[in-house]
Structure 1
């Protein structure tokens, strides 16, 4: 499997399917009096990224961002189901803008980089191109995995598993199908049996009519699809408070412990450092890849959450890998980004502070601005704590190498 690493948004086709429509872009469109304008996503003011391999010999963190072209009726259904808003794409008068949604993904590999690199190249394309006609065949493949999946009834895909449902998918079903599609594409890859990755994906869909860019919109629909221990945080303009949009899928987490014990019994082992491992090997009970562990309950089924982002209530979204979140609290992460001149600088500040405190793991930060960017009210509540931690870190081995 050839992997191209030079572009943040790959144009690679789906493995084993031949050519497919290539509608995703590295720019976003917005309405103008004369038609539509374009803004490149690579701009430091649109999506900010900072990453480092820490002291590790290999980089296993990857990311991707792109503008997808999705069925506007599906987007309308999702807005109505999640937010009780009847968004009408016909009022936009521009099909390309009506179909547009921003996709941002962060992928933290473990045991190797094959799966996280595949996600970087392909997940946004799979997300755009999966369709409900695939679901019965996908469900049959899932059942063939056996073990835990003998009891699996389809989750968000359940209405379509028998092929007789005419309803359109919503974004939750699309995300679930895309995540399972990753594992299906990797099923014959020997490396994907030995390694995997955790993943957090956000999809932003502007509900304003006419439609401005997502960072200047009055209403934006946020969908988060997540497996593992990467994190998505919202920062409120009111006091800069952090609101997590993900939960860590570790074997000792309450929801995961209940899910696994109900179907698989107990295979939780705690090592001499007090860290819990499922089957004695995995820190995460939901992930992409790690195919040999799938029959034992390690599922790619994402936890999907939605939220309506109202203008001026939210300043930005931060996505981080566990190399960051294992060192910094949620509040520290969002406070470090406040008052930065642009998202790239904000991401760099978070990464630099984690490195200063001695971070050794691969580390990735993505900052996505919202309409409340630059309008956070109230004091920086973690400033004194960060200053104390910085003083305590002086002289550590990691600092000496910087």
Structure 2
């Protein structure tokens, strides 16, 4: 029997479509695809902590991950939480945790950072895993992950249905509604080991803590990355008018979006539903994910997923805060501390995070 843990809760980074040969070695147990060849890392108010749903509140759910059938058991627990940013009118960050009580099936974790509205991020929290889980019938987890991301993106680009759907703006939540995402799937193997399959579009991140050090398994997809600008401009039909422009010191696709990959954002996308209504945005935005495959080792201590606001603290600082809490600290208490530190340091963005103790 599967347990479903979800909570509602905003944000806005990307790389070239993957080729089968585009993998690079990062760690002895890591394989990276569809990312940078170098695997680049890259007013205050008191934080209110509550399990009640409501604007401005943190939402937290927790569950046991213990599975005695695995050699690398998840001994403690996992937790997810999200809080509305101090400078945000609406909450647009969400997360999902999906666990199998037997410990024999994959466990899923995802964080989603909406922009231009919450419709896409809200859809992702309930839609990603059902589609992704079916794709995992393919033993090639990289191919399955890529297929899941691209299929999910097509759902965000569709014309509204109904009698007057053709008269309404294309795209879930409107043409300028989108979301970043970072997901991790823990797959138990017959020998007792666990494989971690991580993927992302945009600047939400997944960090693996190994020997006290932060290892970024995702890639920040932003147009300030030269490889991303080159990928987009390579298909520009009018090179004299760049598709990526520097606006006020920030690189933006179409002069608007500070991300080069995301779900949704149909106004910057191509779509493939065989419609004749100008089926090409032509700005090179894509939901092609960066994917990493990692075999966990006894040195691995924790997995941290977070939307971009959390990483304003820096990868290693986030890890140091988590480890300083000590072995007895629960994941939800650690998230509470992380969010409190972020707010105290001036982060005003919505925040969503998941911590998995290994």
**Same fold judged by TM-score > 0.5?**
yes
Q: CA offsets, 1:152-207, max 9 Å, x none?
A: xxxxxxxxxxxxxxxx4511111111111222223124425220000000011123
2:194 matched residue in structure 1: 220
Q: Distance in 1 between matches of 2:107 and 2:100?
A: 6
1:107 matched residue in structure 2: 112
User: Following TM superposition, where does structure 1 have runs of at least 4 consecutive aligned residues deviating by more than 4 angstroms?
Assistant: 26-29
> Which of residues 244, 247, 259 is equivalent to 2:231?
259
Q: Does 2:339 correspond to 1:351?
A: yes
Could you say if the C-alpha distance between residues 131 and 184 of structure 1 is closer, same or farther in structure 2, counting changes exceeding 3 Å? farther
TM, length-normalised to structure 2: 0.68
Return the structure number with greater relative CO, CA threshold 8 A, min gap 6: 2
- Measured after TM superposition, the shift of residue 339 of structure 1 is 3.8
1:50 matched residue in structure 2: 81
Q: CA offsets, 1:228-255, max 9 Å, x none?
A: 0001111122xx2111111110012133
- Kept in 2, the 8 Å contact 1:49–1:348? The answer is no
Q: SS at the partner of 1:249?
A: coil
Could you say if the C-alpha distance between residues 122 and 192 of structure 1 is closer, same or farther in structure 2, counting changes exceeding 3 Å? farther
Structure 1, 53-62 or 291-300: larger mean CA deviation: 291-300
1:201 matched residue in structure 2: 183
2:52 matched residue in structure 1: none
List alignment gaps of at least 5 residues for structure 2.
9-62, 161-170, 271-282
Q: CA offsets, 1:61-110, max 9 Å, x none?
A: 000010369xxxxxxxxxxxxxxxxxxxxxxxxxx755x11110000000
1:245 matched residue in structure 2: 217
Q: Does 2:78 correspond to 1:30?
A: no
Which residues of 2 match residues 51-70 of structure 1 at below 5 A? Answer: 51-55=82-86, 56-67=88-99
1:322 matched residue in structure 2: 308
Structure 1, 177-186 or 110-119: larger mean CA deviation: 177-186
Q: Distance in 2 between matches of 1:131 and 1:202?
A: 13
Q: CA offsets, 1:26-75, max 9 Å, x none?
A: 8768356xxx9xx9x9x9x4212232112112110000010369xxxxxx
Q: Distance in 1 between matches of 2:122 and 2:260?
A: 20
RMSD over equivalenced CA pairs, Å: 2.8
Q: Distance in 1 between matches of 2:319 and 2:130?
A: 30
Could you say if the C-alpha distance between residues 28 and 331 of structure 1 is closer, same or farther in structure 2, counting changes exceeding 3 Å? closer
- Kept in 1, the 8 Å contact 2:5–2:98? The answer is no
- Measured after TM superposition, the shift of residue 262 of structure 1 is 2.2
- Kept in 1, the 8 Å contact 2:118–2:177? The answer is yes
> Which of residues 341, 352, 357 is equivalent to 1:364?
352
> Which of residues 232, 236, 248 is equivalent to 2:210?
236
- Kept in 1, the 8 Å contact 2:175–2:264? The answer is yes
1:301 matched residue in structure 2: 288
Q: Distance in 1 between matches of 2:208 and 2:190?
A: 20
Number of equivalent positions:
267
Structure with the bigger percentage of helix: 1
TM, length-normalised to structure 1: 0.61
Q: CA offsets, 1:337-360, max 9 Å, x none?
A: 014312111111111100111211
2:276 matched residue in structure 1: none
List alignment gaps of at least 5 residues for structure 1.
1-5, 11-25, 70-95, 133-167, 212-218, 371-402
